[in-house]
């Protein structure tokens, strides 16, 4: 059974790997045996150290995913560095909080470009290689807002709902060609994106009151689900959006 989850010899590209959930995903994949290509806008020294402690190879690519310009170079550099690309995790994402009535086109486009547009075109670029060799795993990081509306985050909700739909679409097209496309929907996690919520005493209390597990998720809580979807254990899993939410959606 352990062999099903072994990622030894696999090459994983993880976007937004410099901190938070992306960093935890990179470390979890490394601990399962994968070599890591970490993509992010800021320093990934800490991620490199953690991946190194897991005994895995590491390569960093600095890129701004607000446009699709870096997409093809990211895939090309991963292939040049390691000779393969087996796993892609589209984790990079941003959020803008404003009442819908006041939301600007600039904030709309900024979020949609990172969270949805670039995720699609990076998946496309990676899949060109994966489809050629007949295997690969693509994992999109969706959200509870792929299922619910939320408040004051219209472009984030739209992008994460779109990412769930895109996950299903790509699975329908590529499942029969050996490429698995799935998504993980994190619940309320203690990351930079949720700082404002956690610092609002009333909002923090209302969120905790609804989570059956009774706590905010920690980035490390996402690791097991990612390894599962990246490994042979999920070879017959296609087009799913797996909540990792402490039971939020069950309530």
Return the H-helix or E-strand segment holding 140.
strand 136-141
To which residue do tokens 């601990």 refer? 31
* 28 in Cβ contact with 227 (< 8 Å): yes
Of 156, 189, 216, 228, which residue is the catalytic one? 156
Q: Quick one: DSSP state of residue 218? A: P
Q: What are phi and psi of 129, to 5 degrees?
A: -75, -45
Q: Which of 178, 148, 179, 146 is nearest to 165 (CA)?
A: 146
Q: Quick one: DSSP state of residue 154? A: H
- Rounded to whole angstroms, the Cα distance separating 39 from 73 reads 11
- Rounded to whole angstroms, the Cα distance separating 75 from 79 reads 6
* 244 in Cβ contact with 219 (< 8 Å): no
Among this protein's residues, is 236 annotated catalytic?
no
The catalytic site residues sit at 156
């Amino acid at each position: 059974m352990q062999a099903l989850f072994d990622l030894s010899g696999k090459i994983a590209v993880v976007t937004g790997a410099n901190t938070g959930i992306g960093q935890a995903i990179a470390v979890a994949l490394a601990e399962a045996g994968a070599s890591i290509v970490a993509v992010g806008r800021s320093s990934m020294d800490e991620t490199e150290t953690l991946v190194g402690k897991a005994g895995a190879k590491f390569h960093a690519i600095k890129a701004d995913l607000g446009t699709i310009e870096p997409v093809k170079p990211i895939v090309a550099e991963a292939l040049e560095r390691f000779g393969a690309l087996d796993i892609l995790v589209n984790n990079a994402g941003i959020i803008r909080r404003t009442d819908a009535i006041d939301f600007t086109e600039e904030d709309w486009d900024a979020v949609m470009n990172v969270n949805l547009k670039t995720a699609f075109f990076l998946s496309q670029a990676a899949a060109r290689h994966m489809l050629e060799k007949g295997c690969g795993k693509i994992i999109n990081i969706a959200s509870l807002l792929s299922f619910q509306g939320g408040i004051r985050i219209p472009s984030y909700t739209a992008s994460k709902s779109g990412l769930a739909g895109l996950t299903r679409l790509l699975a329908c097209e590529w499942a029969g060609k050996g490429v698995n496309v799935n998504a993980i929907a994190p619940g309320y996690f203690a990351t930079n994106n949720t700082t404002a919520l956690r610092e609002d005493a009333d909002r923090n209390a209302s969120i905790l009151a609804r989570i059956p597990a009774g706590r905010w998720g920690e980035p490390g809580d996402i690791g097991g689900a990612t390894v599962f979807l990246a490994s042979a254990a999920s070879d017959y899993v296609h087009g799913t959006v797996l909540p990792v939410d402490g039971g939020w959606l069950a309530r």
